[in-house]
Structure 1
Amino acid sequence: MGIKDLSIRNKACCLKLIWLKFFQAGSVWVAWFREEILQGSVSNLWITKPSQRYSWQVNKILKLSGELFPCIKIRVENGATCRFWTDNWCPLGCIRSLLRSATLGIPNNTTLASLYYNGRWLLPPARSEAQVNLQVFMTTITLTQDEDYYEWEIDGKTSNRYSTGQVYNKLREEGPTVPWHESVWNKRGIPKQSFMTWLIVLDRCPTRDRLLRWGLQTDPSCLLCNSAPECRNYLYFDCSYAWQIWLPLAQRCGLLPQRSWSQVLIQMQALSSRSPLGMLTLLCWQSCMYWIWSERNSRFHRQVYRSPDSINRLIDRQMRDKILSFQSSNPIISSRLMQRWLT
């Protein structure tokens, strides 16, 4: 998971809000949005463009509408609210995009109901393969007396409920996979420590080398040992202070400790978060990463200093508490982890 994944997660949550507000339960604000921005029809959500006249929130919704369109299907019943050109009612996609420059003599706001008369569709003769395919599909539709309605659809599966997880996976399908995913994001990890480890792996933390690249004036020396310029690769674990923390912890987990950042990351990637020893080591590694960065920040912002031994004692207490927290859900795993940690 990377920075892009976080933005995708945020986007999936925003799409959920649009779905719930505009296509499920409305609100006073949605009623205003529909009348003032969409000119009375939610179908205009797909064609209304952002404008400097609108607020940031309104423009955000309009910008995301294109990504929501493939997932919002309007199911045709009486065709009274379904727009021929712009609603997502046909498996061939948006008809405006399908037929491109062809207008067929049909106005922009035409509904399907207005094109249906005495059981027949009032369409001009087809002049392209796309028009033929469209007319073939339309012969399978018979309008009823019921109202049109919206459904959520992903990969051909429809639902009346929105799944943020499904949408997230759909949005990130084309994203590259990373070998360290399971090392950082495992279900038994401490969330804030997993998040911090993720930032460190991506080299997104404001180490002094990054501050200097941003044009900020600062002493380049490592805040923990003052022996070399501070950067992510030096901090983990070439720094003598950080090494005094990682060395005994790695040995405690039965790991041959490495000082090179790339080598340590390779070691973590080789572990299985499903095995007791792998789980223990990953928890310990993430705790170490977190508290080293915490100590660095304490010195930078508050001039508060702690020894490597005090950090190790803190990590030991946290590891014991975390292992004990597994007792209710999996007492066997909890017992094995504690035996290993205390050995």
Structure 2
Amino acid sequence: MDILSKLLDKGARENRGQGPKPKFCRSWIWKSLCKLRLLARPFVVCEVGSGLTASFWHENWTSLGPLLHLTGEQGPRVSGLSVDAVVRDALVNNNWWVHSFRSRNPIISLLKNCLPDPQAIVSSEEDDQFLWQIGRIPKHAFLSWLIALNRLSTKDRMRNWGLSVSPTCVLCGAADESRQHIFSDFVYGREVWAFFFSAVHLSPPPLVMDVIRWIKAPTQDSNINLILKLAYQASLYMIWKERNSRIHTQTSRPAASLIQEVQRLLRAKMDILSREQRNLPSTVTFLSIWRLHFNR
């Protein structure tokens, strides 16, 4: 389990009074990460073991998102299961408590259809685990959140903090460094991620925040969309890594080198994702799509 997944687990326990409150933590880094819990939560799924930790209503443990989002606030009231209940609390006599209901209330019907086979949970002695959703590379996704929030230590922000640093971008040596310049305006950064969009004949919008919104569904093919999201996040990560490398080690690489590294990373990721598609009826895999469009 990585650091943000642990934070979500910790946050769930704190909300139920099972752990220390964040205010007792003195670390600035830890407090900053705690503030990102709400941003991170949509990207984390819960793999239920014994069901003793995972929140029944708030965690994404059925692959449908938090059940409270499906039922609305009436879910706990109509079903009689407390909003603070854990998954294990919803089991009665080795079955889900709602299966004894004869009510035709649509919320009850929805829950009956959403809940998985309870036997694995009944017999499990494993702890619940919080995992990143399939498809995301955590360090790439994390940096993308920081970019979306404009929280990176770009030189324009550092100067706004009162630090005496040169405003010049280390990648181009000409323009002032900012989020927009590094990741979109300057040809070096744009060349890296544009390589993958051009493979499927797409032209993203010019502003960084517009791209972040657009990348959620740039095509009607969900498989291509996922690959493009991964490629874009990996490109942002490599561009920022290259920027820091030039500052701290005085070494540099051409954009083509970054593109090749992103290709190697995503090729390995496509192999993993394709193996997880083996039991699906579709014969189109992420790896086959990658080879068709992006393996240039």
Taking structure 2 as the reference length, what is the TM-score of the superposition?
0.55
The Cα of 1:290 is off from its aligned counterpart by 0.7
Q: Are 1:339 and 2:292 an aligned pair?
A: yes
Paired residues of 2:10 and 2:19 also in contact (CA < 8 A): no
The Cα of 1:17 is off from its aligned counterpart by 9.0
2:11 equivalent in structure 1: 12
- The 1:161–1:233 alpha-carbon spacing in structure 2 relative to 1, beyond 3 Å, is farther
Query: Partners in 2 of 1:225 and 1:194 — Cα distance?
Result: 25
Matches within 5 A, 1:1-343: 9=8, 12-13=11-12, 15=14, 18-19=17-18, 154-155=82-83, 157=85, 187-271=134-218, 275-331=222-278, 332-334=284-286, 335-342=288-295
- RMSD between aligned alpha carbons? 3.5
Query: Partners in 1 of 2:196 and 2:269 — Cα distance?
Result: 16
The Cα of 1:20 is off from its aligned counterpart by 6.9
Paired residues of 2:204 and 2:214 also in contact (CA < 8 A): no
The Cα of 1:307 is off from its aligned counterpart by 0.8
Paired residues of 1:208 and 1:220 also in contact (CA < 8 A): yes
Structure 2 unmatched runs, 5+? 27-80, 91-131, 279-283
- The 1:228–1:330 alpha-carbon spacing in structure 2 relative to 1, beyond 3 Å, is same
Paired residues of 1:236 and 1:259 also in contact (CA < 8 A): no
Taking structure 1 as the reference length, what is the TM-score of the superposition?
0.48
Structure 1 unmatched runs, 5+? 22-49, 58-152, 163-184
- The 1:294–1:18 alpha-carbon spacing in structure 2 relative to 1, beyond 3 Å, is same
Moved over 4 A (4+): 5-8, 156-162
> Any idea what the Cα deviations from partners look like across 1:114-167, whole Å, max 9, x if unmatched?
xxxxxxxxxxxxxxxxxxxxxxxxxxxxxxxxxxxxxxx7427476679xxxxx
1:222 counterpart letter in structure 2 = C
Query: Partners in 2 of 1:238 and 1:10 — Cα distance?
Result: 39
2:83 counterpart letter in structure 1 = D
1:71 equivalent in structure 2: none
2:18 counterpart letter in structure 1 = W
- The 1:311–1:157 alpha-carbon spacing in structure 2 relative to 1, beyond 3 Å, is closer
1:191 counterpart letter in structure 2 = P
> Any idea what the Cα deviations from partners look like across 1:193-222, whole Å, max 9, x if unmatched?
111111111111111111111111111111
Q: Which has the larger radius of gyration?
A: 1
1:339 counterpart letter in structure 2 = L
> Any idea what the Cα deviations from partners look like across 1:88-134, whole Å, max 9, x if unmatched?
xxxxxxxxxxxxxxxxxxxxxxxxxxxxxxxxxxxxxxxxxxxxxxx
The Cα of 1:260 is off from its aligned counterpart by 2.4
